[in-house]
Structure formats: C-alpha cells, structure tokens
Structure 1
Amino acid sequence: MNTILQLRQTYHRNLCHSVIYQKQGNKPSIADVASDLSVSLARQLMTNIQIPVSGREIPGQTAGKQFEVVTRDFLRDAFSLLNHLRPGDWQFSLEGAISQYAQYEHIARLSELIKNSPELRTSLGDYVVTPDIIVARAPVSDAAINEHGTIVTAEGQPRLTPLRADIIDKAKPILHASISCKLTLRSDRSQNARTEGLNLIRNRKGGTPHIAVVTAEPMPSRIASLALGTGDIDCVYHFALPELTAAAKSIGNEAVTDTLNELIQGNRLRDISDLPFDLAI
C-alpha cells in the first residue's frame, strides 16, 4: 500500500512531466516571467521538489486540463486510503454539472427557464456551476444499510433522505466536494472560484459540499487574494506548500514569508496532502 507521502511524490512527478515545463532562461512555467520575485520563488520551489520538469513547451490550456486530471487522480487514490475513516461509494470526476447531484437537481429546471427567458436571465443570472473536480457519494441500498442487522424496512422511515437509494426514484449521487483547479493566479478569472462557491452555498437544497481551490501559484500575495476571507471557499490548497515555504525562507524576503505564515496560521492555506483528510471530515 502506498503512503500519502508516496502518492504526493507521484503527484509531483506527474505534474513535472505533463503540466510544468522550463521556459527560456531557466524559468518554470508556473512563474510570472515579468516578476523577478515570482521567478525566484518558482525556481527555488521546483529545486526543492527535486524532480526535473519537462523541457518541451506545454500549451496553457493543455497544462490547465492536465492539472485537473493529475490532481483528481491524486485525490482519488489518497482518499481511497482513508476508506475506513469515511466509508462509502465515492466518485471522483471532472467537470460535471451540479444539477446531476441531489442537492442541486432543481437547478436543471431553473436553468431551462432562464435559458428561455432573457428577462429571467437578467434578473437571476447564471445558476450553472461546473466544478473542475467533483467528489460525490452514491446513495446506499437498503441491503447495504442492513448489512449488520435490520435498520430500515421497505415501508418504514426514513423516506426523504437522499442517502437511502431504495426509496427514491432515480436517486442521484450526493455532491460531497467541489474543487477548483487554478494552475496559477495571474488573472481576475481566478476569482470566479468565489462566485462558484457562493452559488453552491446559496442554491443548494441540502448539505453544503466542501468548496476548495488547488493551485501551483508561487506568489503568496496572489494566493492571498483568493485565500483571505471566509464564507465562499473552505480553504486554498497548494500543490507543494512545504517546498514553497522553504523557498520563501531561502530568498530572504520577509514580506513573502509573513504572508505565507499569515495564510497558514489563519487556516486559509494548506498543502495538497491535507485535502484528502479534510474531505474525510
């Protein structure tokens, strides 16, 4: 059996092979080449990871999509190690509409109404959220519920919970987590993770899913622009937080170190290895 550390190392190897590459001038592709500080942090970060990055250019759209795939695979494999802590039939998928899940099935009807009515679209906006990574739990059959003794009967209560599959016609999986993947945080588009989070919170009928962001951004100030504040995102997770923290210390920039410490101590920034455990809560 792999340990979380071994899976994390595999995660980094896969990212260095198919997502992160070396630009001209020994500049990692996750760096903002217009910022000397960003380049310095990214270089030291990748040095600390100790895995060579790809020498071929990887188009931005391809890198972004691969970041989602590799992150999904890591979370799926790591979470499977915690099945004894959070048993269930768990599904890890990419880019699914939230209307496919129990708390949001009403969104499909709303979206159809809004699509056919410019007036409603102007008033209500867009309800459609398609998270980069979705974690969902399948409903449970009565046979599974009664595995260790009779707990429910065919005609008995409860009859409204989405977890009990046999009482619901076409039972839908339950959305457990919505995870947004932002390879870097270079543009205002990275802030749409907040909008998606607020939509998930406001438009649910049932429990709120975990709402997280995963990034490889080397600049703490840019991470802070997304991580600071509460209410719309549970937490931001960095793909290599200890390595980034060590990189910040090695370049001797007090402001950078202070920002990282503020985010970490304030429970707004964690390492990717923390995320499977947080999903088990």
Structure 2
Amino acid sequence: MAADLARLRPDLQVLSSGAAAEFEQYEHLGVFRTFKQAIGKAPADLASLVESLEALPLGRERTSALRKARALAGRVLKQQDAISALLRDTAEESLLGIDLTVASAGGAGKPRLEVALSAKWSLRTDRAQDCVSQGAKLVSQRRGRMPHFAVVTMEPRPAMLRILADGSGAVDCVYHLDLPALEHAVRLEAAAATAARWPPLETFERLCAQRRLRDYDELLNEVRRI
C-alpha cells in the first residue's frame, strides 16, 4: 500500500511505521524524551571536568578551579535528584505507532502529516479499540491541523466494521480494500437468509450511505487532492 501511494504522489513522503513526533503537528511530543536524555548527561560531564582539573599542575589556579567545579557538581546533583523525582512522577503521553503516513513538506521544519492510516487485515475488538485510541490521541495532542486518520482493512463482517465506523469521530472513516466484492458477498448472504430483514445487510448499507465505510479507491482520491 505504501508503494502504491508513493507511485501516485512521488512528491509526498510516504512511510510505513511512522512515529507521530516526526511530524510538524506532533513534534512537541518528543521534547520530553529529549529532555530526559539530555539532563542525564550533566553529572557525567561534570565528573569528567573535575578529573581534567585534577590532572593539571599544582597551583592556586588549579585549586580555585577545582573548588568551583566541585561546588557546581554538588549543586547539579541536588538538582538532578529534584529533576529525577519530577520525571518519575510526570505522566508521559505516548502515541501508538502509525502504520502508514503521508506527509507534505513543512518548510524549514518537519514534514506536515496529511494522512495517517492504521492497517488491519482483519479486526478484533481489541484491534478496533487500538484504532479508536490512536485517533483520539491524534486529535487531542496535535498542534495545528488534524491529519486525515482512517483505517484500511479487508474485514468482511459488517458487525466488526461497525465498531470502527460507528465511533465517536476519532476515526474519519474505514477504507475497505475491495468494497464491491464485500457488497456482493453481503447481498448473497442476505438473499440466502430466511428472515425478511437481515441485520448485517442493514448495517452495511447504513455505513456506506453515511460514508463511514468507503472503497480503497476513495483513499487514492484523497491522496490525489493533497
């Protein structure tokens, strides 16, 4: 699918297994992790400085420099304890990995995320909830325009498709890789059913009428419009 979209729009950045923090609207999510990595280097750097000063020839300047360096190291260690407690007690928001991303150039900064896709060959209840959770986080944690977030699947059961397509709006829509074939199969099953009304067919027709369930070709059109 990534290769398909990349051929369609070679001017866009199409990647598999992307992290939201790599894009303009979500780059702030990486600040906390970067801070933790950077702050941990200070004690080691100061220890190295003290060792370098101790190797200098004896003299008044060496003694003065060592005194200042050791005092600074003591203050940094106290600050480090406070920072460690803060980091330990502060919740860090995380995003699930995005299966496929389509991004445009973001000027001098990071690329702008235009389309984020969760790819599920089939659906289980827990997989569907992962998609909803990911969409909700993309909505709440963004700074800037919301990317088009959708699920791409081959799931054949209308009841499972409804879990995603009937959601609260965290998922824009569900793209089916072969919606015409699925429609044909659902109508065949409905015709063979003994009841006058077959709920799976009603669910399928409603999802399509509301455009909550769409064919994969419509995803291609969405990418063309970027």
Contact 1:111/1:128 (8 A) holds in 2? no
Between structures 1 and 2, the one with greater helix share: 2
Q: Which residue of 2 aligns with 1:261?
A: 205
Which residue of 2 is the match for residue 96 of structure 1?
A: 18
Kindly state the Cα deviation for residue 113 of structure 1 after the two structures are TM-superposed: 6.0
Deviations 1:40-68 (A, max 9, x none): xxxxxxxxxxxxxxxxxxxxxxxxxxxxx
Residues in 2 aligned to 1:128 and 1:110: alpha-carbon distance in whole angstroms: 13
User: What's the CA shift string for 1:219-256, capped at 9, x where partnerless?
Assistant: 01001011103421110011111110000111224222
- What is the count of residue pairs matched by the alignment? 171
Q: How does 1:29-178 map to 2 (within 5 A)?
A: 71-77=1-7, 79-80=8-9, 89-112=11-34, 117-121=87-91, 126-139=93-106, 165=107, 168=108, 171-178=109-116
Q: 2:136 aligns with which of 198, 210, 213?
A: 198
Native 8 Å contact 1:238 1:270 kept in 2:
yes
Question: Which structure has the larger Rg over C-alpha atoms?
Answer: 2
Q: TM-score, normalised by structure 1?
A: 0.56
CA drift at 1:172: 1.0
Change (3 A) 1:114 1:210: farther
Deviations 1:128-170 (A, max 9, x none): 342000000123xxxxxxxxxxxxxxxxxxxxxxxxx3xx4xx
- Structure 1: which 5+ residue stretches go unaligned? 1-70, 81-87, 140-164
Change (3 A) 1:233 1:111: farther
Deviation at 1:111, TM superposition (A): 4.1
- Report the Cα offset of residue 90 of structure 1: 0.3
Residue 126 of structure 1, CA deviation = 3.0
Q: Relative to structure 1, is the Cα distance of residues 192 and 183 closer, same or farther in structure 2, using a 3 angstrom cutoff?
A: same
**TM (normalized to structure 2)?**
0.69
Distance change (3 Å), C-alpha of 1:190 and 1:111: farther
Equivalent position SS for 1:73: helix
User: Aligned equivalents of 1:269 and 1:236: distance in 2?
Assistant: 5
Structure 2 residues not aligned, in runs of 5+: 38-83
CA contact (8 A) 2:118 2:131 kept: yes
